[in-house]
Amino acid sequence: MAALPTQFGEALSAVEPDEDAAHAQVAHAQVSKVLEGDERLRGLGVDPLLIGSYKRHVSIKRVKDVDVFARLTKADGSLRPGAILDHVADILGVAFPGDVERQHRSVKVDFPDYDLSVDVVIARPCGDHWEIPQRIEEDGRARWVETNPTKMTELTTAANKSFLLYDDDDDSGVYVRIVKLVRQVRRTWVNDQPGGYYFEVLTYHAFQELQPDEKTVAAYLTRILRRIAEMLPDHVDEGPVDPTLPDKTIKTKATAEQIQAAADQMTKAADLAEAALGEEDRCVAAVKWRQLLGRTQNTEVPEDVFPLPDYCNADGTTKNRSVIKGALAVPAGQDRYA
Amino acid sequence: MSGADGWDADLLREGLVARDFTDDGVRLRGPVPWRGAGGAEARARVEIEVDERFPFYPPQVRLLDPGAQLEVTFHVDRAARPGVSGNLCLWDDAWPADIAPWTDPDELLSRIAGWLEQTAAGWPGDNVCDLERYLEADPTMFVLYDAENLARLKGHAVRTRRGSTSGTVEVWNTPHRLKKRAGRPGFSRADRQLAWVEDLGQLHRPVRSWADIHDVLGEQAASAEQLIAAGVVNLVLLRYQRGDQQSVLALTVKYAADEIKVRACESADTSSSTRQMRAGTMAPQLADVPIAIVGCGAIGSFTAALLFRAGARRLTLIDHERLRPGNVVRHLAGLEQVGAWKTDAVRNCLTAIDPAIDAVRALTTAMTSADYAKLLVQHHRIVVDATGSARATSMLAFAANTTNAEADKAVVTVCAQRDGDVVRVDRLPARGVEIFLPPLPALDDQNELRENGCGSPISRTPPTAVVAAAELACCVVLDELAGHRKLPTSVAFVSRPQPEQQYTHIGLVLPGSMPQDQVVK
């Protein structure tokens, strides 16, 4: 069993979007300030909220876009989304000239210095949930679609409290770590579609089904990857159930062929993880783990996510350990005084 | 055995995971089976952290749950934060890193189980005095006390004074009588910065707060508490016993919000017996042996210091010269002693090691006659000749050779030669068939060093050779006094090969099988 927990800890640090996270906070704060400073939006009870993978702490390097959910708490059924989106685009355009783009049902603000963008989605209350415009017609009318983006944050937090490495430590949640690693495996093994959120949902379902209880991050990842590989072929026609809205399924841009291709790739990834975990030789295993997790993407210099132990060569052989520094034997033996 | 490349750490981690531990890459948590009180099986849960010091140091182990009724007492570090266990002390620093039993998961878990079992049993036979470990530290103060005198005090206040170095506090040895101010509440000005001395007796658990101390002392604690609250006492010295060992715990105390806060400070015993503990095994038998050191120059000064440090107390220092600035680089004494007689300078240096120098005599005389040499030999068990003077050595050799052999006297003459490349010690008289090493002939020196106003040329012997010569002389003296007599009559150490036979190799040279024509008798 070559679980290499120390290296997995370092791999998780390698995909941690530290700098992006700082930039995302600044960008979100700047956009929120503009929205909250507008009189018309204040009248509609604007209450911006960060959503998405960054908010759920499951994003990995690099975070390219940050989602802001512009909740209009006082909006009613008469609100025409086209008009309000135009208004949001206008005020943001003044604040961030040249960096604002009105999109299908959101407004995108670019932050070129940070190489990331903020997507502002407007929402109106709908009972306990929220609705966002599904499609906006020429006249500004729209069909609204129910959504609950904050629910996924709650589910993620709950799963991370439920699946613990150490039963006696509430801070030892393993779920978030595995979501990040699965996202990294997807980036490495799956060609574009389905996206990261789709795999996050699969990971969520895999955890709920398997209720895994393992000793290492490597063992958790291996089990979850296998389950995802098994689940994918079942979703060629229809996506997995949306954990936030149990009567709905996850929509994806991926075609049936792409889902099937992803299933094939994830099967290979799961095979590789199982081979690495079962490997007796730690250096051979380390190279397999490195292959599984690939390199950081969208970074200036792509780097291997999984570090090899100091005693391993890049080809998976073990270094000649007789020349490794720090031999422990003391020439003079014991009972010395100085 | 390997080093710090992570191999051993990964091997240990793997082994622990195979033994039901969970590993997040930083710490491992898992079970340790052990036998509780009465042999009942228990299953503790521990946290193990294999940090960057591994495998040179053991991993850090913290107890999460003993799995049975257990009061954690000794051999555990103070917790880093409330609610967390401190690191268990499983192996002390004396454990050699190349054996490193902690790299083996079974050894590690067995050691933890042993620790739990010892804790449950109350650490029978344990005599480790390390109460400071269990308290918050006060690094600003270093307390000096005389344990022998302190032993006579219990339930007393004593005065303190600042020591000679920053942060050092010296505790007086006599009880202090507190004076109430006439007609006014409180105490007089003299009653400040006092220390309170108490005896906790045999301890079965560490004290971690004043409440613990109060529990041990009972009603006796009241006087101290009153004085601490009044701001009169700011230091508490607690004698305590663990097994057959006694020690003292020094605490700074502060009264605030109806509570006495205690912090442990480093403390040390100044009593003679403690200061002599590191003097070596011969210290007790050296204390009463009269030893003369003739010549208190470079080699003589260091010889005197080494013998004094080793326990010799009846020393006679003889020299008729003053310490010159140029001497200091090779001499025991520093620039502050320039101008003093060399004997006084050496004696002053010895005072800094141990103030008990009543039996150290400093004589400002020269070796002017054979009779004086004979007197020295008669009145001392050993005379060390560190004069480097042919005349003085001849007189002492004559005195040694003409003294009754039954008298068990010896002259040990020490010198450096060939600019310090050879250091040599001869013991006189030779006994039985003993022979001396052949002498090294003087070499012509075209570049003699001379100091203005100083008659004889200056040796180019470096300070390292001076210390080596002094050390060799002390070896011979101690061999003689211990009664071993394992060393021959001549001993030399060659640090650079010389052309003469016997001196051609680096290392120790002893009189061996020399051709008869070279034997010196």
Nearest to A121 by CA among A181, A205, A47, A182: A47
CA distance B191 to B231: 9
AA identity, residue A215: K
Does residue A81 share a domain with residue A177?
no
The pLDDT confidence band at residue B519, using thresholds 50, 70 and 90, is very low
In this model, does residue B194 exceed pLDDT 90?
yes
Using a pLDDT cut of 90, give the percent of chain B over it.
Answer: 75
Interface check A137 vs B, CB under 8 A: no
In this model, does residue B515 exceed pLDDT 50?
no
HSE value, Cβ hemisphere, 13 Å, CA-based, for A240: 20
| Residue A168 falls inside a structural domain | yes
CA distance B94 to B114: 18
Question: Of chain A residues 288-317, which have a CB less than 8 A from chain B?
Answer: 309-311
Interface check A338 vs B, CB under 8 A: no
- Give the closest-approach CA distance of A214 to chain B in angstroms: 8
| Poorest-pLDDT segment among B147-151, B177-181, B409-413, B486-490 | B177-181
The pLDDT confidence band at residue B97, using thresholds 50, 70 and 90, is confident
CA distance B194 to B268: 18
Q: Provide the token pair at A256.
A: 């049936």
Tell me the chain A residues in contact with residue B26 when contact means C-beta distances shorter than 8 Å. 6, 9
Q: Please state whether B36 falls in left (phi above 0), alpha (psi between -120 and 50) or beta.
A: beta
In this model, does residue A258 exceed pLDDT 60?
yes
Of B25, B45, B64, the CB nearest to A8: B25
| Interface contact A168-B45, CB threshold 8 A | yes
Matching CATH topology for B9-121 and B276-435+450-509?
no
Does residue A236 share a domain with residue A197?
yes
In this model, does residue B511 exceed pLDDT 60?
yes
The pLDDT confidence band at residue B69, using thresholds 50, 70 and 90, is very high
pLDDT for A323: 47
CA distance B334 to B126: 46
Of B1, B20, B45, the CB nearest to A329: B1
Of B14, B65, B98, the CB nearest to A328: B98
Does residue A169 share a domain with residue A142?
no
For residue range A267-280, list pLDDT tens digits in order. 999 999 999 999 99
| Residue A239 falls inside a structural domain | yes
In this model, does residue B45 exceed pLDDT 70?
yes
- Kindly give, in sequence order, each residue whose CB lies less than 8 Å from that of residue B498, ignoring residues fewer than 6 positions away: B418, B421, B422, B440, B504
3-state secondary structure of B427: strand
Domain finish residue from A147, A168, A193: A147
HSE value, Cβ hemisphere, 13 Å, CA-based, for A297: 16
The pLDDT confidence band at residue A14, using thresholds 50, 70 and 90, is very high
Domain finish residue from A89, A120, A147: A147
- In this predicted model, which residue has the larger pLDDT, A51 or B480? B480
Total domains present in chain A:
2
Q: Cβ(B148)–Cβ(B273) under 8 Å?
A: yes
Question: Of chain A residues 17-56, which have a CB less than 8 A from chain B?
Answer: none
Does residue A189 share a domain with residue A91?
no
Task: Count Cβ atoms below 10 Å from residue B213 Cβ, excluding itself.
Answer: 23
3-state secondary structure of B130: coil
Does residue A141 share a domain with residue A53?
yes
Interface check A9 vs B, CB under 8 A: yes
In this model, does residue A297 exceed pLDDT 60?
yes
| Residue A285 falls inside a structural domain | no
For residue range A18-32, list pLDDT tens digits in order. 888 889 889 999 999
3-state secondary structure of B354: coil
CATH number at residue A81: 3.30.460.90
Give one DSSP letter per residue of A170-215, joined into a string. TT-B-HHHHHHHHHHHHHHHS-S-S-HHHHHHHHHHHHHHH----S
Does residue A158 share a domain with residue A125?
no
**CATH fold for the domain made of B276-435+450-509:** Rossmann fold (3.40.50)
Does residue A218 share a domain with residue A124?
no
Does residue A190 share a domain with residue A126?
no
Residue appearing with tokens 């499951």: A58
Q: DSSP assignment, residue B176?
A: -
- In this predicted model, which residue has the larger pLDDT, A173 or A335? A173
- Give the closest-approach CA distance of A199 to chain B in angstroms: 23
Q: Cβ(B105)–Cβ(B19) under 8 Å?
A: yes
- Cis, bond preceding B55 (omega within 30 deg of 0): yes
Of A166, A214, A282, the CB nearest to B10: A282
For residue range A78-108, list pLDDT tens digits in order. 888 888 889 999 999 999 999 999 988 889 9
The pLDDT confidence band at residue A288, using thresholds 50, 70 and 90, is very high
| Interface contact A309-B64, CB threshold 8 A | no
For residue range B3-31, list pLDDT tens digits in order. 567 899 999 999 999 999 999 999 999 99
Does residue A266 share a domain with residue A223?
yes
| Interface contact B3-A324, CB threshold 8 A | yes
Domain boundaries, chain B: 9-121, 131-269, 276-435+450-509
Classify B9-121 by CATH class: alpha beta
Interface check A76 vs B, CB under 8 A: no
Q: Provide the token pair at B140.
A: 């600003």
| Residue A244 falls inside a structural domain | yes
Mean pLDDT of chain A: 90
CA distance B363 to B341: 9
CA distance B462 to B228: 57
pLDDT for B368: 87
For residue range A236-253, list pLDDT tens digits in order. 999 999 999 888 899 888
- Kindly give, in sequence order, each residue whose CB lies less than 8 Å from that of residue A129, ignoring residues fewer than 6 positions away: A146, A147, A148, A245
| Residue A330 falls inside a structural domain | no
pLDDT for B66: 96
Does residue A122 share a domain with residue A169?
no
- Give the closest-approach CA distance of B116 to chain A in angstroms: 20
Range of the domain at A41: 18-147
For residue range B215-265, list pLDDT tens digits in order. 999 998 999 999 999 889 999 999 999 999 999 999 999 999 999 999 999
Does residue A86 share a domain with residue A24?
yes
| Residue A62 falls inside a structural domain | yes
Does residue A159 share a domain with residue A136?
no
The pLDDT confidence band at residue A229, using thresholds 50, 70 and 90, is very high
CATH number at residue A179: 1.10.1410
HEC letters along B19-69: CCCEECCCEEEEEEEEECHHHCEEEEEEEEECCCCCCCCCCEEEEEECCCC
Domain finish residue from A234, A254, A278: A278
